[in-house]
Structure 1
Amino acid sequence: MTVDDALTLRDPGTGAVSSPPPGYTVEVTSYGTRVEGPGGGRLLLARPDAPADPPAGDDTDAGTDGTEPAPRRPWHQVDVAIVDAVESPAAIGALRRAGVVAKTTAVLAVGGDHRVHSPAEFDRRARLWGASAPFDGQELWCPPSAWPPERAQGPHRVLITGGARSGKSAEAERRLLGESEVTYLATGPSPGGDKADDSWVRRVEQHRARRPSWWKTEESPDAAAVLRDARGAVLFDCVGTWLADAMETCGLWQERPPAGAEEELAARLDELVEVWRRCPAYLVAVTNEVGSGVVPPTVSGGLFRDWLGRANQLLAAESEEVVLATAGRVVELH
């Protein structure tokens, strides 16, 4: 990457050139290689392991006439951030959390190759993170000449459905990698609890390993309570495990459910849908696409299928986006 035909940026961990041209400042930081040009424009070639912690530093200019210091742009905030969005898309969220990327910062997603199945898919992912995917040889300005592309922010609701191992959880996580504040709402059994078997423990560990370290985890079957107080972005994974727990609480897994069990479950579902509708956060929920023509062999299995289908329809009706995941690909449903 060439800057003003004056210097070339290569490895974000080692800097650009030993002696920058006059008027240019090049600094290797924990966030990557930062360049400031003669006109004051600031560009960052980000490290894939950019930390999410805000850097220490004085963000004010002292007044020249003895007055209170005047606020200024933090030294670490840049106009353009270039991120290898295939190697580490989570770096975008880390930079936002650290304040290096602000609302007016143009994020450029680069690195598209065979790891993403098509240029259109790479562009779709970039837009999810509020980034642009420039083409080879494109000339860009710093500061940017156009406002950064918009990304979904709260209140905004996305429901992602799909079959087992369809890639729905990976798509949900991918959508939130550019966010600075994310709560992961896990409604399944705790991996250390009595209901967790070895396969479930391994699955939970895999999910934890691929999530950014700064994401907060809430393990609770009471999804409505968590969503009621939610801010920032929330990944709700998943509606099916929430329903399974709610059915157990209401006694619907029993051979002879108690009187009023379905009415109690209906009230719980209504509460969840109401909180989903009113939540001010950016919400992404994962659910299971049940049935597909298969008739469950048990009465309780049939109840689960019917109630999850009902829950999916109610949540979808209150969502701005509904997405179907299959074989790792996603299709927007209209």
Structure 2
Amino acid sequence: MTVDDRFRIRESGAVGPVPPGYSVFPTPDGVLLEGPDGGKLLYARTGPGPLPGVPPVEARAEGSSGYSSTRPDQQVDMVVVDAAQRPEVIGELRRSGVVGVTTAVVAVGGDHRVRSPAEFARRARLWGALMPGDGQVLSCPPAVWPEPRPHGPHRTLVTGGARSGKSTEAELRLMAEPKVLYAAPGPVPDPAEDPDWADRVARHVRRRPWWWRTEQTTDLAAVLKRSRGAVLVDCLGTWLTWVMGEAGLWEEAPPPDAEDQVEAAVHGLLEAWRETQAYVVAVTNEVGSGVVPATRAGRLFRDHLGRLNQWVGAESEEVVLVTAGRVMEFP
């Protein structure tokens, strides 16, 4: 990347000879450049985990542009992020205040790691970032700003079959958010009783950004009512399984009020979904695309989840279908 046609920043973060009037600072977040007009541009680092401290760096010659390990406690005007490698860096910087509402986020790295320019542009839109073309010149601040990313109240339903990539898509949509609550309605994993489930949950946790907070709960309505910021629910099928079990619908002879209990829980969830002030992305299982289930329990689950998906979808700003890792968006 060339700055003002005067010097370059390489992908590694190394900076070429700095002309007079410019300052370069190694910071915990990457390489910070200050121009003669006071403008601040950050070339973000993309290392994993919480952003660490930076060891002291010797200053350059007296009177020339220098290096400092101290990051100014204020937001920058523009940040360049390799969003193909670690898009969650955008969320980290928003979380720390380095990226504010007037900061232009530029997403680069749209190469073989992302299947097409159109897909990278779609992701950049979700993150509230610009996607420049090769050789494009950007001013700071830019002449054209990206579309605003979704904010609450906003509801998105992500549906798809087993191992379709729907959870990955849901997480991808919230990577640039500074505060995310991950609502997991499944049972608390017990490695002794179900090592496979415990391992699956652990793998999901490891792939999430380090600052996301996980809440293991079946009271999704309460989560949606009290939450602000961003919420990821994964998944509605797991929640419905628990609701149906609590009502006794899995039993051979269900209680007479079992269906009423399930209906009440579903309507409570729908009311909270409709009234939430959060930016919510919920994952669900797509049903009805295969053969009729051979068991009574399978048919019950298909019918109840199919209706729940329709009702939640009707109350959502966005519904997307994921199949084989590809995303189809519905208006």
* Alignment of 1:312 onto 2:312: no
Maintained 8 Å contact 2:28/2:52: no
Tell me the equivalent position of 1:111.
Answer: 109
Aligned to 1:68: none
Q: Aligned equivalents of 1:54 and 1:148: distance in 2?
A: 29
CA contact (8 A) 2:49 2:210 kept: no
> 1:320 corresponds to which letter in structure 2?
E
Query: 2:21 aligns to what SS in structure 1?
Result: coil
Which is further off, 94-103 or 290-299? Answer: 290-299
Give 1:291 shift.
Answer: 2.4
Aligned with residue 173 of structure 1, among 156, 161, 171: 171
Contact preservation (8 Å) 1:31, 1:51: no
Deviation at 1:51, TM superposition (A): 6.8
Following TM superposition, by how much is the alpha carbon of 1:199 offset from its aligned partner in structure 2, in angstroms?
2.2
1:233 aligned partner: 230
Distance 2:207 2:222 in 1: 26
Tell me the secondary structure at the aligned position of residue 297 of structure 2: helix
Name the stretch that deviates more: 196-205 or 225-234: 196-205
Report the Cα offset of residue 52 of structure 1: 6.0
Cα distance in 1 for partners of 2:296, 2:32 equals 62
* TM-aligned CA deviation for residue 132 of structure 1: 1.0
SS at match of 1:132: coil
Query: Any conservation in 1 of the 2:156–2:316 contact (CA below 8 Å)?
Result: yes
Give the equivalent residue in structure 2 for 1:213.
210
Shift of 1:331: 0.1
Shift of 1:50: 7.5
Using a 3 Å threshold, how does the CA distance of structure 1 residues 193 and 242 change in structure 2: closer, same or farther?
farther
C-alpha separation in 1, matches of 2:266 and 2:85: 40
Equivalent residue letter for 1:24: Y
Q: In 2, distance between residues paired with 1:250 and 1:307?
A: 13
> Structure 1 regions of 5+ residues with no counterpart?
56-73
Aligned match of 2:99: 101
CA 1:180 to 1:210, structure 2 compared with 1: closer, same or farther past 3 Å? same
Distance verdict in 2 for CA 1:190–1:182, change over 3 Å: same
Structure 1 counterpart of 2:69: none
Q: Secondary structure at the match of 2:228?
A: coil
Q: How far apart are the structure 1 equivalents of 2:51 and 2:112?
A: 32
Q: Which runs of 5+ in 2 are unaligned?
A: 54-71
Question: What residue is the counterpart of 1:139 in the other structure?
Answer: 137
1:154–1:282 contact (8 Å) kept in structure 2: yes
Q: Alpha-carbon deviation of 1:200?
A: 1.5
Conserved? CA contact 1:52–1:98, under 8 Å: no
State the distance in 2 between where 1:252 and 1:303 align: 8
1:201 paired residue among 198, 202, 208 = 198
Please state whether the residue corresponding to 2:285 is helix, strand or coil: coil
Q: Does structure 1 retain, via aligned residues, the 8 Å contact 2:29–2:51?
A: no
Aligned-partner residue type, residue 22 of structure 2: Y
Instruction: Tell me, in whole angstroms, the C-alpha distance in 2 between the residues paired with 1:75 and 1:133.
Output: 27
What letter matches 1:277 in structure 2? R
Contact 1:12 1:45 in 2 (8 A): no
Q: CA deviation at 1:10?
A: 1.4
Residues 235-314 of structure 1 mapped to structure 2, 5 A cutoff: 235-314=232-311
Q: How far 1:75 moved relative to its partner?
A: 4.1
Q: Which residue of 303, 320, 324 corresponds with 1:323?
A: 320
Q: Rate the CA distance shift 1:251–1:307 in 2: closer, same or farther, 3 A.
A: same
Q: Which moved more, 1:307-316 or 1:297-306?
A: 297-306
1:298-332 Cα distance to aligned partner (Å, 9 max, x none): 21221111000010001000000000000000001
Q: Is the 8 A contact 2:234 2:284 kept in 1?
A: yes
Match of 1:64 in 2: none
Inter-partner Cα distance in structure 1 for 2:311 and 2:108: 38
Whole-Å Cα distance in 2 between the matches of residues 51 and 81 of structure 1? 19
Shift of the 286–186 alpha-carbon distance from structure 1 to 2, 3 Å rule, reads: same
Matched letter for residue 292 of structure 1: S
TM-score by length of 1: 0.90
- Matched to 2:306, the amino acid is G
Q: Which has the larger displacement, 122-131 or 222-231?
A: 222-231
Maintained 8 Å contact 1:52/1:95: no
Q: How many residues align?
A: 313
Match of 1:62 in 2: none
Distance 2:50 2:274 in 1: 30
Deviation at 1:293, TM superposition (A): 3.7
| Structure 2 Cα separation of the partners of residues 52 and 130 of structure 1 | 22
In 2, Cα distance between equivalents of 1:144 and 1:211 = 31
- Who is 2:61 aligned against? none
- Provide runs of 4+ in structure 1 moved above 4 Å: 50-55
Counterparts of 1:304 and 1:264, CA distance in 2 = 15
